[in-house]
Structure formats: structure tokens, C-alpha cells
Structure 1
Amino acid sequence: MTAAAWVIGARGMLGRATTRQLESGSNWLRIEQPSLPWNDDSLLEQAAERGMRELLHQASTVGGGWAVFWAAGTVVTSSPAEAMTEELRQFRVVLSAIERSVKGHPLARRGCIFFASSAGGVYGGSANPPFTELTMPVPISPYGHFKLHGEAILEEFSRRSGVSSLSGRISNLYGPGQRLDKMQGLISHVARAQYTGPPTSIYVPLDTLRDYIFVTDCAALIADSTLRALEVTAKRGTIQATKNLISGRAVTISSLLGYFRVLSKGHPRVMLGSSAAAALQALDLRLDSVVWTDLDDREQESLPSGITATMMDILAGIQRGTSNAP
């Protein structure tokens, strides 16, 4: 099937990769829309409604399927509660505009909204890894509660509007283009420290286990999982789905630093320390998926290759004078 697609948050690392993935495949027709005006609710609603009108129009030309990919947001694990509350409020504003746009429309139940959630956030306090979509989410950090709340908002919207929903619980995302002024992305920050600035501080034990997924691999899974949600919707009706978007390979931070040691031919520039925030980090975040497992049967970027691509991107930015490193 072919479906129309709109990426909200297309300028961020994940949004850019998702946009490129949609444009490279034959199953998607991506619409071009200006960035949403986040500073004014009235303008935000109007822009979202205009985007939906265009999306539904394009969907009518390719068979009726459509999807909105929510990759927007600036909240990270260290963001204040006020920022998380505001981002969720804006998510509701856009969903309300989408709901008004599809109400009574013949293609209303042919669509799906994808929401970029966080596996590390929602499973932070869960028991018995590896964690799957059947695992009871137990967030232990405000960020985890924020993402789980976003999932709940989307599912409530889906049941109310008849538009399918898909929450993609993403493991540790990394790759070229990650914003270094955000306090997230261990791989990117260790890579930056190899070239410039102070050493990167690590506040969790070196035997901490994490699943790292390269951004282009994640974008491919997002596109294919959303297409599967649309196919299921066309056959069975509205669904509320959740899928872990992962590499399926957990490594310790010690092993991760070992890759940097080999690739950079020197010791990683890191400092071990302690922080109260470490209590909000799970030691073992092995992940698996039991939903649409055939989609996971694919070759993904190896961790050494992904780290190399990330390092080269950061070095190129420094040489151009465009690095966003603090």
C-alpha cells in the first residue's frame, strides 16, 4: 500500500532521518509543511489543521492511507517538569486540531499517529529484563512518566477519534546530527570529547547495560511499523499499538568505551563520578520485542560502524565551525 505522510519535528535528528526514510521508499508520499508555530496556540491549531487538510487531500490520491509522525519536542531526561508539562499540552493542542480535521471525513479511520516514546524511560523500574511490549512499564524518572503520559494521551485520542495510534518505544538513539547542547546521547558526547571540550562525565556503573540503535535503523523501523499499523487498520479497524524500536543488542558502558578506545586509537576522554541523578537510571535495560517481530529481522548498523559515523560527523562539524558543541 501507499500512504501520505506528515513528519512533525522534521528538523531534529530523528525527524530528519524519518523524512529521508519516507522519501526513499515507494510506500510513502510525504507532504511538505512549514514548522509549526509553537509559541502561539491559535496559530499552532491553524497550522495543524492546514497540514491535515493537505495530508488528507494527498491521501485521497494514493488510496486513502495517511500517517502523522510525531518526532517533535525538546524535552530530555534533565528537563524541568514545567517543560514536560508544556510539551504534553502542545501535543494535546495538535491532536485536538487533528481530531477536528478528521471528524466526519471519509478517510478518518484510514490513518495512524506515530508517537516517539522512550524504552529507557518507561521501563526504568520494570522487573525481569529483557523488557518487551508485554512488560509492565514502571518509570522511575520524571522523563519516563512524561513519555508514558504522552502514550496515554495518544491512546485516549485514538479511542475517541477512531484514528489508529502507534507508540514506538525507542532504545538509546544515536548517530550523526544529534544536538550536543542537550544533556543526552552518551555516544555523541564521548565522541565530541575525543576532539574538543572537557572530558565527558559518566555517573553510572560501567557494567550498566543499554541497547543502542542507529538513527537510520530506527527511522526505517518507524516507517515500516507505521505502515504495518495502517495495513492492520485497513483489515481490522482502529488499533492502539505499541512496539519497541531497538537493535536487540545490549552492551555495557565498559564495552562501549572499549569501542572508542579501538576506533580513536587512544583512551576515551571520560571522567567517572557520582550524581543523585544516577538513581534514576536502571542498571539493566536489555530489550526485546514481541510485536510484529518479522519487522525486526533486518541487518542493522554495527555499533563500531555507527560510532565511527557519529565521530566523523562531529569532526566535520568542528572543522566547518558549525558544531553545536558547548
Structure 2
Amino acid sequence: MNGENTWVIGRGLLGRAVERARGVGPTPRPIRWSQPDEALEDLRHHAASFAGGTGDIEIYWCAGRGVTSTPASELEAEVDLFRRALVVLRTTLPHRRILFFLASSVGGAYAMSPAPPFTEQTPEAPGSAYGLAKLAMESAVREHARSAGWRVFIARITNLYGPGQDMAKGQGLISVITDSFVRSSPVSLYVSLDTLRDYIYEDDCARVIVGGMARLRDEPNGRTVTKIVGAMSAISIGALLGEVTRLRRQRSQIMLGQGRSTGQASDLRVRSVIWTDLDALVRTTLPEGLDKVFRARLGEHSVHPR
């Protein structure tokens, strides 16, 4: 696959991992996400650079700042921007064949589903505005696949983690726990220690995504493939804390909060039944991944102590 025809949109934890997996760098012109009209202008400008080329264009949409606790109004604005961005891409690249990737969410799609493990055949049952937003984005890109002949790969990702987690988003239990160890500060949990989650390391996730996009080339125009991307091995939060304690040889300072974490399932075990051979690309064990996150946070803390 030609890196010159590859565009990764969004440079968070996942976007940077996909850039590494595809061997491409960031776009020369950053997207001004804080202003929707300016963001669309930047997207149009960069899309135009692909207009005169040949071959398939791979577009990886890894952007988005929404989390489960994000207000509905902000999520609606994010979905609106995504829909407008799809139109910009379609009108700017009318004669190019597009392979489009969208990062979605297992937790968003199946939060209220009653019978884990969830597969791609499990009916969607969102439990929050975040889940509704993710499914709205999926629906929007499916429509463009049908009407414009795009080939689309949607990854419903489990709990993504890695050294590049954005701590400002307040997301990522592994990063939050790691930060509490590094800074010797307590962390509050608002969910049961029996809560089950599937954790996938950033580079493993990116390998599965890139592998899926390569396979998408053999699919007919207008086709959308939705796959659950995860480690396919869930662990309770209590067991996760135990593993962290074993690795660091000290207990974390955990405070169990009295609030209730809404819109999140207690059991998010999954089992993909789509392109299952790609699951072998998930190679990082949880202890290995935790160690990488700790080493990165220790390095950041020594340079920028708080």
C-alpha cells in the first residue's frame, strides 16, 4: 500500500499509532478542530492534494475528543462536523477511489446489551449520548459507502491504552492508575471492582486496523465491514489493580467513589466473528503493555514533575 495515498486524520493515541503502523508522518497542515468552519477548510485543503493522483486513497478517521461523560451538545457538534467532513471529502475527491476507516467504540455500541460476550452480530444498545454519537457516525459513513461507492472499515474498539494517552481527557483507566503511582497520589474509581473490560495496546490495535484496510481492497465498492477490535480477553478492574501492584511491588492509592458511572456496562467481554485471523496481530500481553506505560510516564514525570 502506497503511503503517499494515506491520510491519517486525528493525532491522538490511535492516530499516532496508525501513522507508525503505516509508516507515514502527520499532515503538514494541522486541523484547527476548535473552529468547525476552519477545520473543514483545513480538511478541504489537504484533500485537494490527493485530487490529481492515482490509485486508492486510504483515509483513517481517528479524530474525536468525546468520551462517555462528554455533554450531549458537544457530542452532537462532533457528529455534525463529521457529517460535513464526509461531504467535503466526497466533493473534493469525486474521481478517486476511497478506502475509509472509522474508529468507533465497543462500549458505545453495546453498553446496554444484556448478554456478553458481544459480537458484531449483537444488536446495538447504546447507553449514553456518547454511544448514540458513535452509532450516528457509523450510519453516516455507511451511507456514503452506499451512495459514493466507498469501501469502509469500521472498528469498534475495546479499551485502548498506551503511553500516548491524553491525560487531559480524563480517559483511560490504565493511564489514570499509572499516573497515580508515578505521582504518589490517590485515584478515585466510580465503578465496581468486578467490572470487566478488554484492554488493547495502541500498536496492536493499529496493526489490526491497517490489516483490515489492506483486506478492504478486495471488497466490492460500496461495502462496509464492521469489526470488533480488542484483545478478546477481559479482565476485572480488581484483577487489573492486582497486576499493577504485582508489577510495581506496591499498592495503588484507590478510593472507591460514591457516584455512579452512567452509560457504561459492567461486563464488556467481546468475541469478534469477522476477519478473525486479524486478531492474531494483537501480541502485547497486559504486563508488557503496563510496563511500557509506566516507563513512559516515569520518563515524562522526571522531565515535567508536577
Equivalents in 2 of 1:226, 1:6: separation in Å? 12
TM-score relative to the length of structure 1: 0.88
How far is the alpha carbon of 1:49 from its aligned partner? 2.5
Partner of 1:96: 87
* Number of the residue aligned with 2:189: 202
Could you tell me which amino acid in structure 2 is paired with residue 161 of structure 1?
A: A
For 2:83, the aligned partner's letter is R
1:50 corresponds to which letter in structure 2?
H
CA distance in 1, matches of 2:138, 2:302: 40
One-letter amino acid of the structure 1 residue matched with residue 78 of structure 2: E
* Other structure's SS at 2:168 match: coil
Question: In structure 2, how many angstroms separate the alpha carbons of the residues matched to 1:88 and 1:42?
Answer: 14
Are 1:133 and 2:126 counterparts?
no
Which residue of the partner structure matches residue 242 of structure 2?
258
Partner of 2:7: 6
Measure the CA separation in 1 of the matches of 2:36 and 2:172. 31
What does residue 49 of structure 1 align with? 44
The answer as to 2:98 corresponding to 1:111 is: yes
The 8 Å contact of residues 9 and 35 in structure 1, kept in 2 or not, is answered as no
Residue 298 (structure 1) shift: 3.1
Distance across 1 between alignment mates of 2:28 and 2:120: 33
In the alignment, which residue of structure 1 is the partner of 2:268? 285
Distance (whole Å) between structure 1 residues aligned to residue 187 and residue 143 of structure 2: 40
Further displaced range: 187-196 or 140-149: 140-149
- Give distance in 2, aligned partners of 1:155 and 1:237: 12
**1:1-326 alignment, distance < 5 Å:** 2=2, 4-10=5-11, 12-23=12-23, 32-58=27-53, 60=54, 64-103=55-94, 105=95, 107=96, 110-196=97-183, 198-232=185-219, 236-277=220-261, 279-321=262-304
Q: How many angstroms does 1:41 deviate by?
A: 4.4
Check whether the contact 2:50–2:93 (CA below 8 A) recurs between aligned residues.
Answer: no
Paired residue secondary structure (1:276): coil
Q: C-alpha distance in 1, partners of 2:28/2:214?
A: 21
Return the alpha-carbon distance in structure 1 between the equivalents of residues 69 and 170 of structure 2: 7
Q: Please report how far the alpha carbon of residue 197 of structure 1 lies from its aligned counterpart in structure 2 after TM superposition.
A: 5.8
Moved over 6 A (4+): none
Deviation at 1:42, TM superposition (A): 4.4
Q: Are the counterparts in 2 of residues 204 and 281 from structure 1 also a CA contact under 8 Å?
A: no
Structure 2 unmatched ranges of 5 or more: none
> Which residue does 1:26 correspond to in 2?
none
Q: Secondary structure at the match of 1:271?
A: strand
Query: 2:118 is aligned with what amino acid?
Result: F
Moved more, 279-288 or 204-213: 279-288
- Alpha carbons of structure 1 residues 300 and 95: separation in structure 2 relative to 1, 3 Å: same
Cα distance, 1:124–1:77 mapped onto 2, change above 3 Å: same
TM-score scaled by length of structure 2: 0.94
In 2 relative to 1, CA 30–318 (structure 1 residues): closer, same or farther, beyond 3 Å? closer
SS at match of 1:51: helix
CA contact (8 A) 1:6 1:55 kept: no
The answer (yes or no) to whether the contact 1:170–1:246 under 8 Å persists in 2 is: yes
- What is the percentage of aligned positions where both structures have the same residue? 36
CA RMSD of aligned residues (A): 1.8
Offset at residue 98 of structure 1 (A): 0.6
Which ranges of structure 1 fall in alignment gaps of 5 or more residues?
A: 24-28
Deviations 1:250-303 (A, max 9, x none): 1111110111111110112211122132x4221111011111111112351000
Q: 1:17 to 1:299 in 2, by over 3 A?
A: closer
Q: How far apart in 2 are the matches of 1:237 and 1:171?
A: 28
The DSSP-based 3-state class of the residue aligned with 1:86 is helix
